[in-house]
Amino acid sequence: MTGTTVSVRIDRKLQAEMRRYEDVNWSAVLRRSLHKEIEQRAADQLTRRAEQRTGTQSLHRRKFDKARALEACAAMDRIRESGVFSATPSGVEVIRAWRNRKR
């Protein structure tokens, strides 16, 4: 491989941990990590440009609201426990019925 040499300074503790894994090609690990970071940043940049053009925000960039997620889980549990769906056939029964209709 031809290219540029990059030096990275790490602390002694990390170096000691790396030495425990002699079979790992740390240069390759760093190269993969750098490629992944560059690809992610390029994708983020494209996403931001698209968001600016459309005036919307993509789902993966929205902040995760743990409280809202827990509320949604609790609501789903209440609906499930209410028995609203107990009179309807299960997913397995619906699939079986569709398969039987095809015959």
Tokens of 12: 């002694």
CA distance 32 to 26: 10
Only one residue has tokens 């190269």, namely 31
Share of the chain above pLDDT 70, in %: 92
pTM: 0.51
Share of the chain above pLDDT 90, in %: 47
- What digits encode the pLDDT tens for the residues 16-66? 999 999 999 999 999 999 999 999 999 889 888 888 888 777 666 667 788
